[in-house]
Amino acid sequence: MGTSKTRAEYGQTSSTLWGPYSLQLAPSTSPLEISMHTLPKPLLREFHHVFPEENLKLPAVDEACEFLAIPTNQHAVEDLVAIGDKIEQEKDRCLNVFMEFANDFCRKLQQAGYWADFIDPCSGLPMLTLNCNKVYSEVDGMECCLGYRSYSAGFCKILEHPLWGSAVYPATMFVYAPRAVVQHLLETY
């Protein structure tokens, strides 16, 4: 994949280790905003709720390994709070971009002997770890990791990106690996 990378001037929190950067994965897709974070206490609690320890197949103990969150955001062409066929097509487009990237990224980390998984943005459930049935809130994760704001619209919590408003498609990956390995892999995109 041909990529270019620029660093954002927002989204820095105490848990930020790398980024946020904007990755252009392919000429025909919108950039993917991506960053790497330690898991602050609220997110660590949520992580263990979604990924019970008995379901995790972690590699042999390596002192450098730690749980990390890798939140991604895509600037959607449409405001995703709206409804209609165009909105659903845009959500599908963003989903496909994320799924292709997350599958590739997690596969590479797993081949290197580390644990990695990503959340299905449609269901909120892990994609690779079996027997997990607790839903992860992408909006809460973005608030915790990046300090982004949200607002309520009926029963839904809507993420508000500092530049894109609600024209944003959030999705997250989680890994158990050394920071340096994860950062190096991210920088290859």
Encode pLDDT of 155-187 as tens digits.
889 999 999 999 999 999 999 999 999 999 999
Tokens 């340096």 belong to residue:
180
Residue type, 159: L
pLDDT of residue 5: 53
Q: Report which secondary-structure segment, H or E, holds 90.
A: helix 85-111
Q: Could you report the per-residue pLDDT of 55-82, keeping only the tens digit for each?
A: 888 876 678 999 999 999 999 999 998 8
Is the pLDDT reported for residue 11 higher than 80? Answer: no
Which residues on adjacent β-strands are paired with residue 157? Answer: 152
The model's confidence at residue 150, banded by pLDDT at 50, 70 and 90, is very high
Tell me how far CA of residue 184 lies from CA of 36, 123, 172, 178, in angstroms.
Answer: 11, 30, 18, 10
pLDDT of residue 90: 95
Is the pLDDT reported for residue 1 higher than 70? Answer: no
The model's confidence at residue 4, banded by pLDDT at 50, 70 and 90, is very low
At residue 35, the 3 state secondary structure works out as: strand
pTM over 0.75: yes
Torsion, Cα of 145, 148, 153, 154 (10° steps): 30
Is the pLDDT reported for residue 2 higher than 50? Answer: no
pLDDT of residue 7: 59
CA distance 16 to 148: 13
